[in-house]
Every structure is written in structure tokens, then in C-alpha cells.
A = this chain, B = another copy of it.
Amino acid sequence: MKPKAIVLLSGGLDSSTCLAVARERGFETHALSFDYGQRHNYELKAARRIAESLGAAEHRIFKLDLAQWGGSALTDPGLQVPRAEDSRGIPITYVPARNTVFLALAGAWGEAIGARTIFIGVNDVDYSGYPDCRPGFVGAFAEALRQGTRAVDEGWMWEIAAPLQNLSKAEIIRLGTKLGVDYGLTVTCYCADEEGRACGKCASCALRREGFQAAGVPDPTRYL
């Protein structure tokens, strides 16, 4: 029997690559997406297709409202998503403690089904502005989860796998291409339309486009 892993799957390029890596490493994958009030809601449809195309054993879309207290351009209609992110400080698109919440729920589901590994597509080469994408956070969270679950009584450790942590966007794209990820299914743009077509102008679109160029892989993104 394969060991189980929870894979956080946003429907974007990084988390889809993560799902492919988890499968490649021999895990039965349980993909977890969040309907949290994000304005780029199309990514949930994308996540559904990606989970299916990469053979996830199960895919859950967990509903919770992180928009209710504001604090981010990604959930607050009153704030504008900037075209190019300011490179200093924490970006306005940061959603307070989002990955802490997502990993906590991944841990809850994992504990319920007997998974001891969680995959998360965080990355700090191309984009290190979010505090909850850094290695220090991932390690500290794994320890908190151990202390707060059966792991501490049963004497095992949670593995929070962040296989993309040190890869450039181009390296991620090359890795995923090798593992059979259909990047045409993935959505990165925060402003994608109902059909999943990207704006081509925001900071996320720019990073993605440059990644395909640097990887020497044709860009399958559908632009508006």
C-alpha cells in the first residue's frame, strides 16, 4: 500500500508541479484546495482538472472565508492588485497567515486519514516576499504540527515537503514538464477571467512568462 500525502493544490503552476513530484515519489496523493474568498476563483476549476490529470486519489475543495477580515488585495475588492509588485517588504497580495491556515487544515485532514506527509509548493528564489513561503516557516510549522497531533504521542515526525523551495521558475517548469504536468491547465494570474485566460500584465503573469522563456519550453498559457 502506498503511503498517503496531502498536497496543497491552488491550481497554479507551482502547486501542480508539486502534485506531480508527490506522485513521482510514490505517494497516494490527496489534493487539497481552498475556496477562501479569493478573487481569482477560476483557479479552483483548474485545480479540479489538474488533480484528475495527475491521478490524485481524491481532491477536496475546502470552503472557508478568509476575506471576512480583509487585509489583502487578493480578497478585498477595495484594494487593487498591482501590475508590478514592489520588490521591498511584504506585498499587498499577501493574505494574513494563509499558509499557516492551509497547512493546519492539511494536517487535520492528514491526521484523520493517516497521512504523515504534506506537500506545499512554496518557493523562495523567484518570489520571497511572503513570510509564509520561507523555509524557516515550513520547519517551524512541522514542529508545531508534531506537538499538536498524535505524532508527539506516537513518536513520529510530520514531513512538510517543499520540493520547489530552491528552484527557479524555469527549473520548476522543466521539472514539471518532465513529470507530465499539462501547464495549459494551470492558472497563475490573479486576474484571470471566467475562462481562465490570463491578463498577461500582472506580476504573476510576468514571472510565469519569463519562466517559460528561460526554461525553453513553449508557453501554453491562454492570454486575454
CB within 8 Å of B: which of A62-121?
62-66, 68-71, 89-90, 95-101, 103-105, 107-109, 111-113
Given contacts A104-B101, A147-B131, A148-B141, contact A96 B112 (CB under 8 A): yes
Segment of A42-50, A149-157, A177-185 engaged in the interface with chain B: A149-157
A140 to B146, CA, bound (A): 9
Fill in one digit per residue for A122-144: 1 if any B CB lies within 8 Å of its CB, else 0.
Answer: 00000000011010110111011
Q: Is A97 touching B149 in the complex (CB atoms < 8 A)?
A: yes
A88 to B76, CA, bound (A): 47
Determine the interface band of chain A, counting residues with CB < 8 A from chain B. Answer: 35 or more
Q: Is B109 touching A69 in the complex (CB atoms < 8 A)?
A: yes
Q: Is B149 touching A132 in the complex (CB atoms < 8 A)?
A: yes
Which residues of A come within 8 Å of B, CB atoms? Answer: 60, 62-66, 68-71, 89-90, 95-101, 103-105, 107-109, 111-113, 131-132, 134, 136-137, 139-141, 143-153
A-B contact pairs, 26 of them (CB 8 A): A60-B69, A64-B64, A69-B108, A69-B109, A69-B112, A71-B113, A96-B149, A97-B111, A97-B145, A97-B149, A101-B107, A101-B108, A103-B104, A104-B104, A104-B105, A131-B147, A132-B149, A136-B147, A137-B144, A137-B148, A139-B147, A140-B147, A140-B148, A141-B147, A141-B148, A143-B144
